[in-house]
Amino acid sequence: MIKLKELMLLPYSDSIKQPLTAEHYKERGGLIASLLEHRPVQLSLALLLLTDFSFHGFGYMLCRPDSDELSQAAMRREVSGREWEFLQPKSNLRLRLVSFGSCRPRGNEKRLH
C-alpha cells in the first residue's frame, strides 16, 4: 500500500493520472482482492461507524461485529445501553471491516480538530 499512500500526499490541485504506474494498479488490485475474499456482508448484523478527525485528515471505518456468539452478545449489550466492549485491551471480541475511507482537510477544516 506504499504507492497508494504516496498518492494521498499529493496536493488536491494535482492530477493523479500522470503519476499512476503499474505498481499502483497492482497494489489496488491486491487491496480489492483481499476485501473480496472475506465473507459477504450479513444484513442482519448491526453496523458500527468508527471515525477519527485530526489536523491530517478525517477517516472512517464501517464495521460489523463478527458472527461468533461472543461478539454478537456484546453488540446486543451495547445496543441496550451497556458499556462499549469492542476494541478494549485484552478483549477477544472482533469487528469485521465493511468499508473505509478518508480525506485530507482543506483550508479552515484543518482548524476544526
pLDDT class of 35 with cuts at 50, 70, 90: low
Read off the pLDDT of each residue in 61-81 and give the average, rounded to a whole number: 88
**Grid coordinates of 9:** 500526499
Read off the pLDDT of each residue in 89-113 and give the average, rounded to a whole number: 79
In whole numbers, what is the pLDDT of the chain averaged over residues? 79
* Long-range residue pairs from 100-107, CB within 8 A, at least 24 positions apart, any chain: 100/59, 100/60, 100/61, 100/62, 101/59, 101/60, 102/8, 102/57, 102/58, 102/59, 102/60, 103/57, 103/58, 104/8, 104/12, 104/56, 104/57, 105/55, 105/56, 105/57, 105/58, 106/12
Confidence at residue 17, expressed as pLDDT on a 0 to 100 scale: 65
* pTM, full prediction: 0.51
Are the C-beta atoms of 97 and 59 separated by less than 8 Å? no
pLDDT class of 45 with cuts at 50, 70, 90: low
Is the pLDDT at 28 greater than 80, yes or no?
A: yes
Are the C-beta atoms of 47 and 98 separated by less than 8 Å? yes
